[in-house]
Amino acid sequence: MKNDVKVIAKAQPQSRIDSDLIGIATAALLGLFLLFAAGFAQATVLHDTAHDQRHAMAFPCH
Amino acid sequence: MLKHILTSAVFAGVAVGVLAAAVQLWLMTPLLLEGELFETGARVHFAADGSPQSEAGPPSLMDEPVRHLTTAGFGIVTFTAFGFLMAAGFALATRAGHVVTPRAGLIWGLCGFIAVQLAPAVGLSPELPGTVAPEVEMRQAWWLGTVIATTVALALIAFGRGTLSWIIATALILAPHIVGAPHLDTYYGVAPPELSAHFAARSLGTSALSWCLLGLIAATVWSHQEEAS
């Protein structure tokens, strides 16, 4: 019930909601990009320097 | 909103990345370096002379400081990346009317550990260097599918309503393991099984610690910002 009240109280105009969603999507994309570089990219330089970290975190490495 | 996400993600990611790097240097790197001795053949388990044992003990950590520094750097990048994804999740949960407290953050961290480390490890155990395995692209695809399916399942359990959510969540958790991770039909291991087992257990243990701290710190920073705004 308390949460419901908070939701109503926090209701925002449409433009604010859209900018929130853009912010969330930007952060998620940034996270995925960094994760790809650190954990997935097979380019030799990235692979070699990230090698030990990938093994320690159990990312499929090579 | 974006500012809150960035602050939580970067603060928690860097703090946990540094801590995780220290713990990895202490517990993981010695096993990695020891595994490489068997990978390169510098040490041989079940040597040709018929002796069933091989020498145990890691090489010195002091030989390659630059290598260990770059490992620490990538640890920070990795946990900052997880921090961005987790804080984006906090933002979605907050929009839906849930309050992200530090205690809740600890559970978020545990769920991150389950989705990103534990569930994939059931199919693809953490590997010592030198482990012979199927094509990396196949393993990455299975790993990614498992992480996504488990994440969606845990979100359904946490935020879904009704029995159907639980049924779908159970199916999503089980599906990757019913499909099965890619495996070879022969064993090639050159490292002692004790070393591989120790490596796998420590990989899960250290990442469990790092994920819990990531959730706790990111949620603490998040809730401070929410209270202040």
Nearest to A39 by CA among A58, A19, A12, A20: A58
Those residues whose C-beta lies under 8 Å from the C-beta of residue B118, and which sit 6 or more positions away, are B204, B208
**pLDDT at residue B81 greater than cutoff 90:** yes
Q: Give the start-end residues of each E strand in B47-178.
A: none
CA of A55 to nearest chain B CA: how many angstroms apart?
6
C-alpha–C-alpha distance, residues A1 and B188, integer Å: 59
- Between chains, do A39 and B70 touch, taking CB under 8 Å as contact? no
Per-residue confidence (pLDDT) for residue A1, from 0 to 100: 46
pLDDT band at B127 (very low <50, low <70, confident <90, very high): very high
pLDDT band at B49 (very low <50, low <70, confident <90, very high): confident
**pLDDT at residue B117 greater than cutoff 80:** yes
**pLDDT at residue A17 greater than cutoff 90:** no
In the stretch 17-56 of chain A, residues with CB closer than 8 A to chain B read 19-20, 22-28, 30-35, 37-40, 42, 49-56
pLDDT band at A10 (very low <50, low <70, confident <90, very high): low
Instruction: List chain A residues with CB under 8 Å of B96.
Output: 7
- Between chains, do B85 and A32 touch, taking CB under 8 Å as contact? yes
- Tell me what the pLDDT averaged over chain B comes to: 94
Instruction: Return the half-sphere exposure (C-beta side, CA atoms, 13 A cut-off) of residue B134.
Output: 16
Q: Could you say which DSSP state residue B63 is in?
A: G
Residue carrying the six token digits 């929130």: A20
**pLDDT at residue B141 greater than cutoff 50:** yes
Cα three-residue angle A53-A57-B1, rounded to 5 degrees = 95
Per-residue confidence (pLDDT) for residue B150, from 0 to 100: 98
Instruction: List chain B residues with CB under 8 Å of A62.
Output: 136
Q: A with B: how many residue pairs have Cβ under 8 Å apart?
A: 131
Range B104-121 average pLDDT: 98
Cβ–Cβ contact A14 with B under 8 A: no
Number of residues that make up chain A: 62
For B126, nearest residue in chain A (alpha carbons): A58
- Between chains, do A39 and B78 touch, taking CB under 8 Å as contact? yes
Q: Report CA-CA distances (Å) from B138 to A40, B67, B90, B145.
A: 12, 28, 31, 11
Percent of chain B residues past pLDDT 90, beyond the cut? 84
ipTM of this complex prediction, to 2 decimal places: 0.89
Instruction: List chain B residues with CB under 8 Å of A33.
Output: 81
Give, rounded to a whole angstrom, the gap between the first and last alpha carbons of chain A: 51
C-alpha–C-alpha distance, residues B75 and B12, integer Å: 12
Per-residue confidence (pLDDT) for residue B173, from 0 to 100: 98
Q: Extract the tokens encoding B36.
A: 């490489």
For B5, nearest residue in chain A (alpha carbons): A27
- Between chains, do A62 and B74 touch, taking CB under 8 Å as contact? no
B77-95 burial by CB neighbour count: b if 16+ within 10 A, else e? bbbbbbbbbbbbbbbbbbb
B163-194 burial by CB neighbour count: b if 16+ within 10 A, else e? eebeeebeebbeebeeeebbeeeeeeebbbee
Cβ–Cβ contact A9 with B under 8 A: no
